[in-house]
Amino acid sequence: MFKLIHSDKNSQARLGKLSTTHGDIETPCFMPVGTHGTIKGLYPKDVKESGAEIMLSNTYHLFLRPGMNVIRKAGGLHKFISWEKPILTDSGGYQVFSLALLRKLSDKGVEFQSHIDGAKHFITPEDIIDIQSELGSDIMMPLDECVHYPCARAQAEVAMKRTINWAKRSRSHKDSLRKHGPNKAQFLFGIVQGATYEDLRNICAQELTDIDFDGYSIGGVSVGEPSNLIYNILKITAELLPAEKPRYAMGIGYPQDILEAVERGVDMFDCVVPTRYGRNGTAFTSTGKVKIGNSPYIEDFKPLDEKCSCYTCSNFSRAYLRHLFNAQEMLGLTLLSLHNVHFFLNLAKGIREAIKVNQFKEFKNDFLGRYLSD
Amino acid sequence: MFKLIHSDKNSQARLGKLSTTHGDIETPCFMPVGTHGTIKGLYPKDVKESGAEIMLSNTYHLFLRPGMNVIRKAGGLHKFISWEKPILTDSGGYQVFSLALLRKLSDKGVEFQSHIDGAKHFITPEDIIDIQSELGSDIMMPLDECVHYPCARAQAEVAMKRTINWAKRSRSHKDSLRKHGPNKAQFLFGIVQGATYEDLRNICAQELTDIDFDGYSIGGVSVGEPSNLIYNILKITAELLPAEKPRYAMGIGYPQDILEAVERGVDMFDCVVPTRYGRNGTAFTSTGKVKIGNSPYIEDFKPLDEKCSCYTCSNFSRAYLRHLFNAQEMLGLTLLSLHNVHFFLNLAKGIREAIKVNQFKEFKNDFLGRYLSD
């Protein structure tokens, strides 16, 4: 399933290949996020052309809308959204804790009200596996309990233990599944929790490794804690995980975070930042962020990023993009989103090429030297 | 410039070819509208792939925002918006009369306040030619006075006479232009006004023909009058115009209007309907309009239009499009807009193919039989 191709000589960075029924994914990889089954504002064909080999979608959102009936009848998520490459679905745990109303948590599962219409739902870890089985995603996540930062040790420990318990039940339930959805060959990752407490992360990683998952996610990072704590947890958690399995840092992140995580041995990333920033008029470029509405761009006929080969940069100037943004034209937001997604995918590609020749550190320093120069 | 290729044996429908410096346009043609220099929500590459050979843009809007300084420095409108095919620009007359604040009209020109920031402008017919020269559009329109329906005869006559006067000045000014913008080989059309009064249309068409333009627009139609009046004015005006010049019905229209106009000898059309309806969740299909938010589409896994080969219909179901629309996802609006633009361009293509074999009436009846069947 996962093949470790090469380890960088001067860091923990790894080059790998993840093989799924919907195709291979070279790692380190960036996964654009399609919360409602769409990477906001972009055609799937353009996302694929940008180099995406996998996308992420959100179990919680799809479960509530359009609901499983529709997706089941469509023949699964890939068919419903017309994305034939791999899909990773999260467990919905994070969304239940951040979006849902009136949630009530017990070892059995979680009761919550939909943030859309207030409807009550009770969901167990087994349900989450069933739902993802019907979605037919290539990589599933088990239900977990994610805590925010700061979090008292006692609370983090309870959440971590519940996460392990739920992980065991998820694994058992997956193994016992008689009726599969449209994709029988789904992988299941374990999610390491434990907040910023190294000993809790240690226990969690050990227990999950004993259960034996297809890969391991590092959860509960980038939830409000400072960067140095994020990087430290990524480092110590990655070190605890088996080398022959992929490692996924959930919700990471900005370009610098991705680079720091790769250096510490993380292989997979997802983040809403490229499209969210695009919709707000901010482009990521090799020399830093560009807020396209700003006046210096009124007569700036250069592309967003002269080093970029995306459709936006190949065809349109900052002046035109600024005009679109000012005139509140959708095209401005989609062109910026497209560029940003391309930028993140291209960063991942650059990282892979650098690891291949043991130049990851040089690549990282070069990139950050330009990127943070403003 | 314009070549009449074939006249339908059973109607006034005509097949023609319009040649500009940015390429040829087969007529009858539909021109998607890019008000602010963007066909709302669509990438130019996708509009071209849909078969568009020319687009329309709005002088009034571009003049106010981003303003001529930016477009001049960009090297003209084609370069600014990255559209290398022909562009037709309107005169802004219609927008001055429908959008601008506190307009004051005289034979000399028109004073108005920008609807964006209230800034005062005074513009003459000569200015409008200068502006379009700087835009570098392939087909320019002279400033005209457009009246709404109903309009008293006396008022319509004043507007018609002013339109002729301004048309003469526009033609002279164009001929005397020493400094051209980025496109020296621009065509100038005359705009026939006269409201619903046949004798006024007659006078106007005669006078404009005497001035001799590269083509003729039929203005002041579809401004609130009933369909039979629109069709009658199109018919009698088209008959008054020289056969060897293209005829353009401004702002027309819905599929049935386009068919009626083609039957009466009109060659060119533009309308915001495909993208405006797309943004509001309505798709045009061969069997009529589909309001995608409606509940019958919840589990409808057919494409919008089974006869359509556009990207939307080749990849996505009504159920998915409805989901996107309900979740207020941009992608739903852009996919519907793309389909609608393709639908109108494909209608024009079907019309051309039918004229070629003297089957226009059969095509029209077939199309409307299905389209109006709901």
* Among B210, B215, B259, B213, CA closest to B234: B259
CA pair distance A290, A273, nearest whole angstrom: 14
Residue B348 to chain A, least CA–CA distance (Å):
25
pLDDT tens for A147-184 read 989 999 999 999 999 999 999 999 999 999 999 999 99
Per-residue confidence (pLDDT) for residue A102, from 0 to 100: 72
Amino acid of residue B5 = I
Q: Which of A35, A38, A58, A338 to mutate to test the interface with B (most CBs of B within 10 A)?
A: A38
- How far is the CA of A13 from the CAs of A187, A198, A213, A241, in angstroms? 23, 21, 21, 14
* Among A319, A331, A337, CA closest to B39: A331
Mean pLDDT (whole number) for B257-281: 98
Residues of A in Cβ contact (< 8 Å) with B45? 311, 315
Mean pLDDT (whole number) for A102-111: 90
CA pair distance A195, A151, nearest whole angstrom: 7
Between the two ends of chain A, the Cα-to-Cα distance in Å is 42
Active site residues of B: 90, 270
**Is B41 close to A334, i.e. CB distance below 8 A?**
yes
pTM of the model: 0.97
Q: Which of B35, B42, B43, B326 to mutate to test the interface with A (most CBs of A within 10 A)?
A: B43
The position carrying tokens 């309990």 is A145
Radius of gyration of chain B (CA): 20
Residue A90 annotated in active site: yes
Per-residue confidence (pLDDT) for residue A94, from 0 to 100: 86
pLDDT tens for B171-197 read 999 999 999 999 999 999 999 999 999
Nearby residues of B157 by Cβ (< 8 Å), 6 or more positions away: B197, B200
Mean pLDDT (whole number) for B267-283: 98
Residues of A in Cβ contact (< 8 Å) with B334? 41, 43, 330, 334
E strands of chain B, at which residues?
2-7, 14-20, 23-27, 29-34, 55-57, 87-89, 101-105, 110-113, 120-123, 139-140, 187-192, 215-218, 247-249, 268-271, 282-285, 288-291
Nearby residues of A71 by Cβ (< 8 Å), 6 or more positions away: A62, A77, A80, A134, A135
Nearby residues of B339 by Cβ (< 8 Å), 6 or more positions away: B278, B283, B284, B304, B305, B308, B310, B312, B313
B190 strand-pairing partners: B216
**Residue of chain B with shortest Cα separation from A72:** B299
Burial B40-60 (b: 16+ CB within 10 A, else e): bbbbbebbeebbbbbbbbbbb
The position carrying tokens 């009550």 is A120
Residue A46 annotated in active site: no
Question: B182 CB near a chain A CB, below 8 Å?
Answer: no
Q: Is the distance from CB of B250 to CB of B270 less than 8 angstroms? A: yes
**Is B298 close to A43, i.e. CB distance below 8 A?**
no
Q: Domains in chain A, please, with CATH? A: 2-271 (3.20.20.105), 273-374 (no CATH)
* Among A119, A118, A112, CA closest to A98: A112
> Does residue A44 carry a pLDDT above 90?
yes
Mean pLDDT (whole number) for B209-229: 96
Per-residue confidence (pLDDT) for residue A99, from 0 to 100: 82
> Does residue B155 carry a pLDDT above 80?
yes
What is the H or E stretch that residue A313 is in?
helix A311-315
CA pair distance A157, A151, nearest whole angstrom: 10
Under DSSP, is residue B52 helix (H, G, I), strand (E, B) or coil?
Answer: coil
> Does residue B6 carry a pLDDT above 90?
yes
Q: Provide the mean pLDDT of chain A.
A: 96
Per-residue confidence (pLDDT) for residue B134, from 0 to 100: 98
Q: What is the largest CA-CA distance in chain B?
A: 63
CA pair distance A363, A351, nearest whole angstrom: 7
Which pLDDT band, with edges at 50, 70 and 90, does A339 fall under? very high
Q: Is the distance from CB of B255 to CB of B347 less than 8 angstroms? A: yes
Count of C-beta atoms within a 10 Å radius of residue B119: 9
Count of C-beta atoms within a 10 Å radius of residue B72: 17
- Phi/psi of residue B104, each to 5°? -135, 120
Amino acid of residue B186 = Q
Per-residue confidence (pLDDT) for residue A374, from 0 to 100: 67
Let me know the angle formed at the C-alpha of A94 by A152 and A258, rounded to the nearest 5 degrees: 90
> Does residue A97 carry a pLDDT above 90?
no
**Residue of chain A with shortest Cα separation from B335:** A43
* Among A100, A139, A137, CA closest to A122: A100
> Does residue A129 carry a pLDDT above 70?
yes
Q: Which of B33, B35, B38 to mutate to test the interface with A (most CBs of A within 10 A)?
A: B38
CA pair distance A309, A322, nearest whole angstrom: 19
Nearby residues of A137 by Cβ (< 8 Å), 6 or more positions away: A57, A77, A87, A88, A89, A183, A186
**Is B323 close to A36, i.e. CB distance below 8 A?**
yes
Per-residue confidence (pLDDT) for residue B293, from 0 to 100: 97
Closest CB from A81, A82, A319 relative to B74: A319
CA pair distance B53, B87, nearest whole angstrom: 9
Let me know the angle formed at the C-alpha of A223 by A219 and A228, rounded to the nearest 5 degrees: 90
Tokens of A239: 């070190």
Radius of gyration of chain A (CA): 20
Q: Is the distance from CB of A297 to CB of A322 less than 8 angstroms? A: yes
**Is A40 close to B66, i.e. CB distance below 8 A?**
no
Residue B33 to chain A, least CA–CA distance (Å):
13
Residue A318 CA, distance from chain mean position? 29
CA pair distance B209, B227, nearest whole angstrom: 26
> Does residue B374 carry a pLDDT above 70?
no
Closest CB from B41, B43, B65 relative to A327: B65
**Is A331 close to B42, i.e. CB distance below 8 A?**
yes
Which pLDDT band, with edges at 50, 70 and 90, does A90 fall under? very high
DSSP assigned state of A85: S
- Phi/psi of residue B271, each to 5°? -165, 145
Which pLDDT band, with edges at 50, 70 and 90, does A86 fall under? very high
> Does residue B100 carry a pLDDT above 90?
no
Residue ranges of A 327-356 with Cβ closer than 8 A to chain B: 327, 329-331, 333-335
Per-residue confidence (pLDDT) for residue A192, from 0 to 100: 98
DSSP assigned state of B245: S
The position carrying tokens 């991705």 is A258
pLDDT tens for A209-255 read 999 999 999 999 999 999 999 999 999 999 999 999 999 999 999 99
Tokens of B322: 């409805």
Closest CB from A41, A80, A324 relative to B331: A41
> Does residue A200 carry a pLDDT above 70?
yes
Q: List the B110-113 sheet strands across, edge first.
A: B101-105, B110-113, B120-123
pLDDT tens for A298-321 read 999 999 999 999 999 999 999 999
Count of C-beta atoms within a 10 Å radius of residue B96: 23
Residue A274 to chain B, least CA–CA distance (Å):
15
SS3 content of chain B, % helix, strand, coil (to 5): 45, 20, 35
Residues of A in Cβ contact (< 8 Å) with B298? 66, 70
CA pair distance A348, A192, nearest whole angstrom: 23
Tokens of A341: 């997604």
Q: Is the distance from CB of B275 to CB of B33 less than 8 angstroms? A: yes
Mean pLDDT (whole number) for A65-86: 98
Per-residue confidence (pLDDT) for residue B243, from 0 to 100: 97
pLDDT tens for B35-91 read 999 999 999 999 999 999 999 999 999 999 999 999 999 999 999 999 999 999 999
Between the two ends of chain B, the Cα-to-Cα distance in Å is 42
CA pair distance A87, A53, nearest whole angstrom: 9
Residue B337 to chain A, least CA–CA distance (Å):
12
> Does residue B119 carry a pLDDT above 80?
yes
Nearby residues of A161 by Cβ (< 8 Å), 6 or more positions away: none
Residue ranges of B 283-322 with Cβ closer than 8 A to chain A: 298-299, 301, 311, 315-317, 319-320, 322
Count of C-beta atoms within a 10 Å radius of residue B175: 9
Q: Provide the mean pLDDT of chain B.
A: 96
B16 strand-pairing partners: B4, B27
For residues B290, B292, B297 and B301, what is the CA-based torsion angle, rounded to 10 degrees? 90
CA pair distance B95, B99, nearest whole angstrom: 5
Classify residue B176 by burial, with Cβ atoms within 10 Å: 0-12, 13-18, 19+. exposed
CA pair distance B147, B94, nearest whole angstrom: 9
